[in-house]
Amino acid sequence: GAQQLPPKAPLNEKSKVRHVIAVVSGKGGVGKSMVTALMAVKARQAGYQTAILDADITGPSIPKAFGIKGHATGDAEHLYPAISRTGVEVMSMNLLLEKTTDPVVWRGPIISNTVTQFWSTVVWGEVEYMFVDMPPGTGDVPLTVFQSLPIDGIIVVASPQEQVAMIVEKSITMAKLMQVPVLALVENMSYFKCPDCGKVHHIFGKSHAEEIAKKYGIGTYCQLPIDPDLATAVDAGEIEFVMEDGLDPIVEMLKQRTAE
């Protein structure tokens, strides 16, 4: 029951952000940022005010996917999120760097401080769903970031060539530690659909993600194909305009949760 949950981190009492969902992965390069961006886009299209807090401080790739360039505005106490063309609020290290090619080489504590600031100093709007692009992995850095945000639930992103069961187990351990539910499992780059003949190719072999989701009691599970159009859209800053409905089951689940 809800009364057993610890109080949320009292970081931003004036916050109008209602739900904070962390998007995690076992390692880099599996599409965590892409899924985070697409979730915010799809939930926005479903009628919710959405935001992205890019907590992947050392590899911030969210602004690029939305074609957001330039600097965040603000003063010493307030920082304003960038607003995408379709109204998604975004804050990322890349909006604060002089050059977006500058590497960020900070260690865990400074990373979590920055994320805390993103949460508390940024003037977020009346956001229904905030998606947090977490640092990759299930080690110290994501765990510290977890502790610095009032996270309500987790979406796990894995690719079929990984040991999905192990990643899910680690994510579940992390979620239990934080006393939040694993809401969904996304298997990214799951298959390839031939654009000419429509045939589906399971390049990395048969998927085990669905049975893993069932085994661990994760209620929502979905797949995204290897889609060159998706990669092109991310590169071109056009993530808001892609035709990809693979994350619809998660949006449906969020709708139901909001209705409850």
Interface positions, 179-198, toward ligand ADP (CB under 6 A): 188-189
Separation of alpha carbons 114 and 65, rounded Å:
21
The CA distances from residue 194 to 191, 203, 210, 223, 225, in Å, are 10, 12, 23, 16, 11
Q: Which is nearer to ligand ADP, 84 or 120 (CB)?
A: 84
Residue 171 sits in the site that holds ligand ADP (CB under 6 A): no
Indicate whether 28 belongs to the interface with ligand ADP (CB under 6 A): yes
Backbone φ, ψ for residue 247 (5° rounding): -95, 5
Question: Among residue numbers 125 through 144, which ones bind ligand ADP (CB under 6 A)?
Answer: 136
Stretch that binds ligand ADP, among 71-79, 90-98, 179-187, 226-234 (CB under 6 A): 226-234
The CA-based diameter of the chain, rounded to the nearest angstrom, is 57
CA distance 130 to 259: 17
**DSSP β-bridge partners for residue 142:** none
Name which of 49 and 91 has its Cβ closer to ligand ADP: 91
CA 56 – CA 145 distance, rounded (Å)? 10
Pick the binder of ligand ADP from 95, 156, 185, 230 (CB under 6 A). 230
* 59 annotated ligand-binding residue: no
Question: Of 95, 213, 234, 254, which lies in the binding site for ligand ADP, with binding defined by CB under 6 A?
Answer: 234
Binding to ligand ADP by residue 231, rule CB under 6 A? yes
Q: Provide, rounded to whole angstroms, the least separation between the CB of residue 250 and ligand ADP.
A: 15
Q: Residue 195: which residues within 8 A CB-CB, separation 6 or more?
A: none
Neighbouring-strand partners of residue 91: 53
Total number of residues that touch ligand ADP (CB under 6 A)? 18
Residue 31 binds to ligand ADP (criterion: CB under 6 A) = yes
User: 173: how many CB neighbours lie within 10 A of its CB?
Assistant: 11
List residues binding ligand ADP (CB under 6 A). 25, 28-34, 61, 136, 188-189, 224, 226-227, 230-231, 234
